[in-house]
Chain A
């Protein structure tokens, strides 16, 4: 069965607001997680990753939070822009890459 899953299939956010995308995983032994972004007509593109020995990692306008206690991770996008409209996947890369179903983010102007 699926070992990673996103909480909401869709998310609508106002341009300029912050976005939060959530993901749950089941394998407590997983030690590495990745977020990918997939724009329409393109392949998934790496956004940010985090190892299990970290709680938080920041990139450019993105932050990933990892809560190992409840096996949950989230992707926060600051000041969401129209170009952030895409499908977002969390994936665990413990032994092989396993993707969840994705959350479609739509940015309202």
Chain B
């Protein structure tokens, strides 16, 4: 089954404790991205990756890092989480980046930073 898999689904952590949210897709997609979803703000893009070893900032990259060492994986790293990073996070992938390329989303990771 074609899917985007995120782990963990739920995470509670404390300020400053490094964490990684994993994302994996099995569709051989070139393009992957991370979004955060906050009430009333829709989805905002954090980082995206056009291909292996190619990453770039989205609209809200501050406090986040990503890596793309393999095509299927695109982990999101919070080196020193802060309470304002409490949010619902989604990983998405598409064949390429451009009009007509439908993005497929994971089920989400709900993060709480205390």
Q: Which chain A residues have a beta carbon within 8 Å of chain B's beta carbons? A: 2, 31-32, 34, 41-46, 49, 51, 89, 93-94, 96-102
Could you say which of B42, B45, B101 contacts A100, with CB atoms under 8 Å apart? B42
Specify which chain A residues have a CB less than 8 angstroms from the CB of B99 in the assembled complex: 31-32, 51, 93-94
* A-B pairs with beta carbons under 8 A, tally: 53
Asked, given contacts A43-B106, A43-B107, A44-B90, whether A93 binds B42 with beta carbons under 8 Å apart, the answer is no
- Name the residue of chain B whose CB is nearest to the CB of A32: B99
Contact B42 A42 (CB under 8 A): no
A97 to B78, CA, bound (A): 23
Specify which chain B residues have a CB less than 8 angstroms from the CB of A46 in the assembled complex: 102-104
Q: Which chain B residues have a beta carbon within 8 Å of chain A's beta carbons? A: 4, 33, 35, 40-45, 48, 58, 90, 92, 97-108
Specify which chain A residues have a CB less than 8 angstroms from the CB of B35 in the assembled complex: 99
B31 shortest CB reach to chain A, Å: 10
Could you say which of B40, B103, B107 contacts A97, with CB atoms under 8 Å apart? B103
B102 shortest CB reach to chain A, Å: 5
Contact B43 A99 (CB under 8 A): yes
- Name the residue of chain A whose CB is nearest to the CB of B106: A43
A43 to B102, CA, bound (A): 14
Contact B58 A44 (CB under 8 A): no
Asked, given contacts A96-B48, A96-B58, whether A44 binds B100 with beta carbons under 8 Å apart, the answer is no
A85 to B42, CA, bound (A): 18
Contact A96 B97 (CB under 8 A): yes
Specify which chain B residues have a CB less than 8 angstroms from the CB of A99 in the assembled complex: 35, 42-44
- Name the residue of chain B whose CB is nearest to the CB of A34: B102
B85 shortest CB reach to chain A, Å: 19
Contact B42 A101 (CB under 8 A): yes
A11 shortest CB reach to chain B, Å: 16
Contact A102 B42 (CB under 8 A): yes
Asked, given contacts A101-B40, A101-B41, A101-B42, whether A49 binds B102 with beta carbons under 8 Å apart, the answer is yes
Specify which chain A residues have a CB less than 8 angstroms from the CB of B40 in the assembled complex: 101
A51 shortest CB reach to chain B, Å: 7
Q: Could you name 11 residue pairs across A and B whose Cβ atoms are closer than 8 Å?
A: A34-B102, A43-B90, A44-B90, A46-B103, A89-B43, A96-B58, A97-B92, A98-B45, A99-B42, A99-B43, A100-B42
